[in-house]
Structure 1
Amino acid sequence: MNRFTARLLALAGLLTVEVVLAMVLFVAAFGVFFYLARVVFVHHSLALDTWASGVVDGWRAAEPGLTGPVRFVTFFAALPFLLPASVAGVLLLRRASHPRESWELLVAMGGGILLNQLLKFYFNRPRPSNALLQTLGLSFPSGHAMLGVTFYGCLAWLLARHLGHARWAVPLLLWAGLIGITRVYLHAHYATDVLAGFAGGAAWLVLCRAGIKLFWKEERAMLESAGNEPV
Structure 2
Amino acid sequence: MKRFAPRLAALFSFLTLEIAVVGGVFIASAVLFFYLTRVVFVQHSVDFDQWAFAQMDVLRSRWPSLTSGVEGVTFFASLPFLVGVGIGLPLLLRSRGHRREGLEVFLAVAGASLLNQVLKVHFQRARPSSALFPQAGLSFPSGHAMIGLALYGCVAWLLWRHRRHPLWAAGLLVWAVLIGLTRVYLHVHYATDVAAGFAIGLVWLILLRTALRLWWREEAKSGL
2:157/2:169 contact within 8 Å kept = yes
CA shift at 1:164, angstroms? Answer: 3.0
Partner of 1:164: 164
Q: How large is the Cα RMSD of the aligned pairs?
A: 1.4
Higher relative CO (Cα under 8 Å, sequence separation at least 6) belongs to 1
Alignment of 1:115-130 (within 5 A): 115-130=115-130
1:157/1:169 contact within 8 Å kept = yes
1:22/1:207 contact within 8 Å kept = no
2:86/2:110 contact within 8 Å kept = no
Q: Distance in 2 between matches of 1:59 and 1:168?
A: 28
Alignment of 1:95-174 (within 5 A): 95-174=95-174
Partner of 2:69: 69
Partner of 1:41: 41
Alignment of 1:183-198 (within 5 A): 183-198=183-198
Q: Distance in 1 between matches of 2:219 and 2:166?
A: 27
Partner of 1:222: 222
1:145/1:179 contact within 8 Å kept = yes
Q: Distance in 1 between matches of 2:210 and 2:46?
A: 35
Partner AA of 2:31 in structure 1: G
User: Per the alignment, in what secondary structure is the counterpart of residue 141 of structure 1?
Assistant: coil
Identity of paired residues, percent? 53
Q: Distance in 2 between matches of 1:220 and 1:25?
A: 28
C-alpha distance after superposition, 1:81-126 (max 9, x if no partner): 1110111101101100111111111111111100000000000000
**Unaligned ranges ≥5, structure 2:** 1-14
Partner of 1:5: none
Q: Distance in 2 between matches of 1:187 and 1:123?
A: 19
* TM-score of the superposed pair, with normalisation by structure 2: 0.89
Cα distance change of structure 1 residues 188 and 37 upon mapping to structure 2, 3 Å threshold: same
User: Per the alignment, in what secondary structure is the counterpart of residue 162 of structure 2?
Assistant: helix
Partner AA of 1:140 in structure 2: F
- Aligned pair count reads 209
Q: Distance in 2 between matches of 1:23 and 1:216?
A: 20
Partner of 1:29: 29
Q: Distance in 2 between matches of 1:168 and 1:161?
A: 12
CA shift at 1:40, angstroms? Answer: 0.3
